Amino acid sequence: MNESAKQYYEAIATLTGCIIGAGILGIPYVFVKAGFWTGMVVLVVIGIAMLVVHLLIGEVALRTKKCHQLVGYAQKYLGNWGKRLMLFSMCVGIYGALLAYTIGVGQSLTAVFGGTLLFWSSVFYILMAFLLFGGIKVLAESELWMEALKLFIFAIVVIMLFASSNFSADNLAGFSLENLFVPYGVVLFAFIGTAAIPEVREETKKCLFIAKKAIIIGSLIPLIIYTLFALAVVGVSGAGTTEVATIGTASVGNAGFVLMQLFAILAMTTSFAALGYALKESYNEDFGITKFNAWLLTMVIPPILAFLLNTSFVKILDITGTITGGIVGILAVLMHARARKMSERKPEYEIRINIIGYTLLIVLFAAGIISVIIQMF
């Protein structure tokens, strides 16, 4: 494999690894709550919207001479208010995600090996802390093999679910306009990969022309995987679908059940690595915090949140996804509009989008934020 091909596949692996995490495990549950076809409509709309957002941020990165994390790009093109808002959204999103992944992996390991949720969550968290202490090379290499293994196991899991005697197309039913926002937050959470876009630029820096294709493929793979996973799990579990979807699929037998937990663990592990690294690098590059202190600040907050908060897996995904995805989506539109006017270099690709396209994206993300605020009060 030549160097450019290696960079291309590593970039795709980093983006899909960031996107496909705990969110996939919550999708079947909210689909059942909203009506399966309600969930599918939301899945496709948000999947396409986030593909556009990822491309917009990719173009912003390519219009800038110096590499930054999202917070740095927000400051450059939107000023200090953009920097603060992006930092807030990143902190809420990433710390919430790291907490959700830790809980989810702990539940999967407990389901397979027994023991306590606290023990397995702690083991996972300590191992991830060691991984994040490394640099971009460690991340890229670990993401590549973990993504390949994850997709291989996913294929086996989906085939087993579709082939199960418990699979019934009758479970794939229900549509309600009133429930459109029921799956919104979890689905949006499941598609957020914005934090990985600066990493994609860094990994493809020797051949930036492959960045666009890597972003497109890396964003479309999750859409296909989520669709297949939702069809397979809801088809088997129906109304009995659990918050962590793989835990409610014991009817496929012991071997299948273990494989599903392994898929869940790999999905959350790769996403934990990509998001944790992005936050650590943002503290280091955008705020001048030393690498060790940036790592420490990244890793110390989630355990504190776990101690202070008592909430469900899906609720974390819902609130985190809506707030973080909404803010980042809106900021991405504003950053792109400004970067087109303040470009420092000719980008390797350009996204042609007009004021109508910008407005539709902003309305989509703003509506979600408003809906979750209404629910909270």
Q: Which pTM value belongs to this model?
A: 0.85
The predicted structure's pLDDT at residue 139? 58
In sequence order, what DSSP letters do the residues of 189-206 get, joined into one string?
Answer: HHH--GGGHHHHHHHTTT
CA–CA separation, 122 vs 117, rounded Å? 8
Q: What average pLDDT score do residues 24-53 get? A: 95
Residue 161 has pLDDT above 90, yes or no: no
Q: Looking at 45-49, 94-98, 270-274, which range is the least confident one?
A: 270-274
Residue with tokens 């504190």: 304
Q: Looking at 35-39, 72-76, 83-87, 89-93, which range is the least confident one?
A: 89-93
Length of the chain counted residue by residue: 377
CATH number of the domain bearing residue 79: 1.20.1740.10
Give percent of the chain with pLDDT exceeding 90.
41
Domain count, the chain: 1
The predicted structure's pLDDT at residue 141? 58
| Domain span including residue 225 | 3-376
Residue 302 has pLDDT above 80, yes or no: yes
Better-predicted residue by pLDDT, 372 or 82: 82
> In the chain, which ranges are continuous DSSP H helix?
3-19, 22-34, 36-62, 70-78, 80-113, 117-132, 136-163, 184-191, 197-203, 211-237, 254-287, 291-308, 313-341, 355-376
The predicted-structure confidence for 188-239, as pLDDT tens digits, reads as follows 999 988 888 888 888 777 667 778 899 999 999 999 999 999 999 999 888 8
Q: Are 146 and 268 in contact (CB under 8 A)?
A: no
Residue 187 has pLDDT above 90, yes or no: yes
256-295 in b/e form (b: 16+ CB < 10 A) is bbebbbbbbbbbbbbbbbbbbbbbbbbbbbbeebeeeebb
Helices 36-62 and 313-341 cross at an angle (nearest 10°) of: 40
- Give the pLDDT band of residue 143 (cuts 50, 70, 90): low
- Cα angle 374, 42, 350; round to 5: 105
The predicted-structure confidence for 106-115, as pLDDT tens digits, reads as follows 988 998 888 8
Residue 26, Cβ density class (10 Å: 0-12 exposed, 13-18 middle, ≥19 buried): buried
- Give the pLDDT band of residue 333 (cuts 50, 70, 90): very high
Q: What average pLDDT score do residues 68-93 get? A: 90
- Give the pLDDT band of residue 144 (cuts 50, 70, 90): low
The predicted structure's pLDDT at residue 55? 95
Q: CA dist 8 to 142, 214, 256, 277, 328, Å?
A: 15, 6, 32, 19, 25
